[in-house]
Amino acid sequence: MRPYKVLIFIACVMACLGALCVVLPGRIVLGERTLNWPTLAEVFGESEYSEYSEYSEDSDSIAEFPVAPDSLLADTTPSVPTPVIPHITADSTTDSRIFLQPFYASLTESSERVVRVLHYGDSQIEEDRMTQQIREALQAHYGGAGVGLMPLVQTIPSLTVKQQLRMNGRFITPAQGPQRYFVYGFKRNQRADGLYGPLGQMAVMNDSLVKGSEDVTAICKPQSGNPRYSQWKIFADTAIHYSLSGDTVQLKGHGNVYGLSQESPTGVIVDNIPMRGCLGLIFTKMDSTQLTTFCRQENVRLIIMQFGGNAIPSNKNPGTISGIVKGLREQVQHLRECAPEASILFIGPSDMLTQTDGVWQTYPMVPYMDRLLRKMAYEENIAYFSLYSWMGGRGSMMRWQETGLAGSDGVHFTRSGARKAGKAVAEWILEGMSATTSLNDELME
């Protein structure tokens, strides 16, 4: 066969496969068998959910990047302390807030030192909508001020702080600023060394990458009526030098910037860390030495994980959902190794709607994932808050839409809905301090 005919044949085959990737979903269930193939985005290495591409229900582990030297803070490599979270035999009747007892105990020290809370989640917590309610409630009871951690380059506007960036003498958009890397999202924006810092994203100040990026000014003005912060913290390589003036920080040098923080020297600091489109299978890709150093030095005593919703729309196979929950279990175990003194709270997905034959109804996998996550939480000795059950279960998102608490997509809360959900989580956490005291005495006997 002549070469040009072979070339035409190969081109036709590629076109047919490309059309298959576009027209059909990434998997089809045929009886007991599942046929899988990549999407076009995955073929070209630009899958938005790249952390899931390395984990399926048939795999035993999540791929890890090689450990790189610590560069978050000027500190020696810490030894990993022995976990202090006691193992408690519990079942579905146990109030899972019993697993927050170490966090509750740490709050008694909030008048003397910072008690830090990291709230990781998907797009439901963007704009600081839910996290703000948790922060306000904890700071009202235990002191503290400031919105906590924020990236040098903020791509999603926040309701609590207005952030602007100035470079080369003018205000710039995020796309015009220092080059950024994310542990989630497109593969082209990820690092091989895992050095992302606690936010799971970082910015590189380097004139060879972006002209003028060795001299950046960030203006971060609080927008809410919360108690005003009293100090800045800059998390960056030691080669980065900075100067402060009110709500403005100027950074100079060549190196990595992992985040800025507006806070107080005592009280509770609650960091909002949204990761749009993320499944949550990303913490094992973050340099463990770096994360361990941050959690120890900043006294992280509670880690909130709010994931699961992004797995629902594209998956109808229970085996796939089970595999994702298995992956989330590994993330919980990894975070416990990095922050052995911290309690962990997992917030499950809300009710979510899809349209079938013109009728809106709950995605079939929502209650299934909620059950699996609850079971995983009890087995891993972490607290679990079911947004799905709290909302009212199957079909509750429709009622939320009718009252203006949820958007037309049937997936996301409106700002008022997010505030309502955030307040519910905050109240649940605070009420647990008294609700679990007697239970703790019983289980620890």
The Cβ of residue 35 has, within 10 Å, a number of other Cβ atoms equal to 10
CATH architecture label of 38-443: 3-Layer(aba) Sandwich (3.40)
Separation CA 165–CA 220 (nearest Å): 9
Can you spell out the DSSP letters for 165-204? EEETTEEE-GGGSSEEEESSB-GGG--SS---TTTTEEEE
**Residue ranges per domain, the chain?**
38-443
As a whole number of Å, the end-to-end CA separation of the chain is 81
Does the pTM of the predicted model rise above 0.75?
yes
Residue with tokens 């703000």: 132
Taking only the tens of pLDDT, the chain with its 445 residues reads 677 676 777 777 777 776 666 554 444 433 344 344 454 444 444 433 344 443 333 333 222 222 233 344 433 334 444 445 555 555 567 899 999 999 999 999 999 999 999 999 999 999 999 999 999 999 999 999 999 999 999 888 899 999 999 999 899 998 899 999 999 999 999 999 999 999 999 999 999 999 999 999 999 999 877 778 999 999 999 999 999 999 999 999 999 999 999 999 999 999 999 999 999 999 999 999 999 999 999 999 999 999 999 999 988 899 999 999 999 999 999 999 999 999 999 999 999 999 888 889 999 999 999 999 999 999 999 999 999 999 999 999 999 999 999 999 999 999 999 999 999 999 999 999 887 665 555 545 5
